[in-house]
Chain A
């Protein structure tokens, strides 16, 4: 049964990929990419990677699509027909693909429990992490505790993307001159259904985001997914009620502050561990019992991650929208 689902999903993915190659309307291409992401997320669920599926659905399908559509809205909506047959590209791709296929021949068969990767490092994560670290979700233990430094790097990457966008697309502090033009009508304000349903849903979305944030220890979830979902609530608000209203609710200055504070909180927890006598990010020092310390440490850094991700995602959305508004 699992195999059937697997093969069906893979087939749909391949069809989507081929469609993306040939389609020239960018809007369709972007939507197909969203479908590709969603199908990948389903495939991840089939392969027991629930946290990954959650993140792919939120980040890959959600944020990527928003950003791509935002960019497409300000540029061209059509791709030109390639003027020549890209034979060299095809050759390069075929060579690379065959090398890869050659390389996978010595890999263990899909699904075997005694492949080298299941025998060496992973058993400690599976058996010991509920005892050493605490959370039933082993992925959270590895992500936040064993390999917490990678997560710090990842938070820094998100932070970098945010400031790169603001640096490239202009600071969002451009104040409109007071009597320049009539106030921009909110684009979707006239849609009654959207407005009313939006008002009902946005608080629930935000609540769900908080749930995902704090429940990440016990089920799929955690800082990244929570930050993205929270941001999507704000983005939905901005789409329905207008960018100006949204910027009054969540101002760009606050976002910059939150984005920086999240990274500083994460690093600060690490430095606190050093101050308390352990190594960087050694949560055992944070409380009397090591497991409590781990729990506190994971809680704090997930909070830092969630804050930064939320701030940066909204910042990126504002950057694209403001650029589009200021140049149109």
Chain B
């Protein structure tokens, strides 16, 4: 169906005000559930179309690009759309019970509305082929995230949301400056047309200072959004104090979409192989390595396990950027594949956190004592998620780490390989802390009656992710195939 690309974004967009027309929280949840499952279905259809037939293009308003805004879905977009809509479809069933205890009743329709808008924003960024449209939907998703994080139960959620707002808006304004400078060079806003105009007018080969500045601002702005070290300061607080559902969703999707934007601008607009782009790759290599090392070390010392996982996310983002900075086929495949795998891993781990928070009330490491016996399903899910994080064979995480090491081997960068393996080792340390406390430390006697296993509506999405982690670790054809197709497009662009 030709209207699939726009349906992908319109369904959650129009479901959001619909949620608000009814006062009941049950109706709001049902509308949100239907909208996310429908959009997941659309993204599956799009992925099938793109891999079998070819890229899909859609002119909104009937005006051809670059005069109108057009959606352009190729393998890279379709992959990101799958990640975002898939996570949203899993999170909604989870949300029913989780949101009940964290958000008060009158605010719940607003919560679901904001969540739908966040999903819309992220899908819109991934689906569009117009740079300014990307900015509008970026701000849409960011604005709803600020509000969603601010709805967390503790007062630190408010300061976390405010800090994220300031840093996020600075990032978005930098991106706007970058887009403006690019526009001033070429006169167009469409991504493909930008690439074309930069070559037609021979701006790319000349040492154009405006182009350099535009990309400097775009990179810094996007680094703020994807929490690349050292611009990651908003992430630990935001993930720790947000409501569980929000953390699960944002950790799995928001930063990936920012990485997608970086890929589009760096490879789609500048193209592969130019001197300019090689320099950019080298510049983001150092922060990526620093992220892996520093964030993993800091994670080890955290008592709040959600915070530990947040720092772990920063390290994982370092892995993704590392893969991208290689700018080789293997490296790019590794980075893109890790986007998918990390969504599976972190989504699962944060779902475990949500379940523990649901039953026990908090997620400090001491609260995990004896949970291995009281919540066996939940904690085994944590173990499998942890194994995936470490990169153990037969889990999804192993494949992307393997490709990363392969890419580093191709370049002969032994120190990078050592750092990658060191990062995995550090992950073992901070995961083992929790596993040890849960399974090998006895719980306090008087806590026996209080908790039990998490409810089914929390367990089923959790274990779907567990199965996904294991399945995509063994049969990696689907994500790897998509990642390789995406890489081919990015490497082949001009």
Contact = CB atoms under 8 A, between A and B. Distances in A.
Given A146-B63, A149-B61, A164-B146, A116 B107 contact: no
Given A103-B181, A154-B136, A161 B143 contact: yes
Contacts of B143: 157, 160-161, 164
A159 B16 contact: yes
A21 interface: no
Contacts of A153: 124, 133, 136-137, 140
A168 B184 contact: no
Contacts of A160: 114, 117, 140, 143-144, 147
Given A153-B137, A160-B144, A104 B210 contact: yes
Given A149-B61, A157-B143, A167-B151, A121 B67 contact: yes
B380 interface: no
A279 B17 contact: no
A105 interface: yes
A173 interface: yes
Given A103-B181, A167-B111, A168-B151, A157 B210 contact: no
Interface stretch (A184-192, A220-228, A237-245, A280-288): A280-288
B66 A121 contact: yes
Contacts of A164: 114, 143-144, 146-147, 150
B69 A149 contact: yes
Interface in A116-152: 116-122, 124-125, 145-150, 152
Interface in B103-139: 106-107, 110-111, 113-114, 117, 120, 124, 132-133, 136-137, 139
B120 A156 contact: yes
Interface in B18-35: 18, 20-21
Secondary structure of the A side of the interface?
A: helix
B154 interface: no
**Which of B3, B61, B184, B208 has the most chain A CB within a 10 Å cutoff?**
B61
B10 interface: yes
Contacts of A278: 62
Interface stretch (A12-20, A74-82, A194-202, A259-267): A259-267
Contact of B106 (A122, A146, A173): A173
A121 B187 contact: yes
A67 to B, nearest CB: 14
B58 A279 contact: yes
A168 B209 contact: no
B167 interface: no
A120 B186 contact: yes
A279 B213 contact: no
Question: Chain B contact residues (Cβ within 8 angstroms of A): what range?
Answer: 35 or more
Contacts of B124: 153
B284 to A, nearest CB: 17
Interface residues of A, number: 58
A261 B17 CA distance: 8
Contacts of A281: 60-62
B61 A256 contact: no
A9 interface: no
Given A167-B110, A278-B62, A156 B13 contact: yes
Given A99-B216, A106-B208, A159-B17, A282 B187 contact: no
Nearest to A104: B210
Contacts of B133: 149-150, 153
B140 A157 contact: yes
13 contacts: A103-B210, A103-B216, A104-B210, A116-B197, A121-B188, A146-B67, A148-B61, A157-B140, A164-B143, A173-B106, A263-B13, A280-B61, A283-B61
User: Which 6 pairs show the lowest CB-CB distances between chains A and B?
Assistant: A103-B213, A120-B187, A164-B147, A282-B62, A260-B17, A167-B110
Given A267-B10, A274-B6, 5 more contacts: A146-B67, A149-B69, A163-B147, A256-B20, A267-B13
Interface of B: 3, 6, 10, 13-14, 16-18, 20-21, 58-63, 66-69, 106-107, 110-111, 113-114, 117, 120, 124, 132-133, 136-137, 139-140, 143-144, 146-147, 150-151, 177, 181, 183-189, 197, 201, 208-214, 216-217
Interface of A: 99-100, 102-108, 115-122, 124-125, 145-150, 152-154, 156-157, 159-161, 163-164, 166-168, 171, 173, 256-257, 259-261, 263-264, 267, 270-271, 274, 278-284
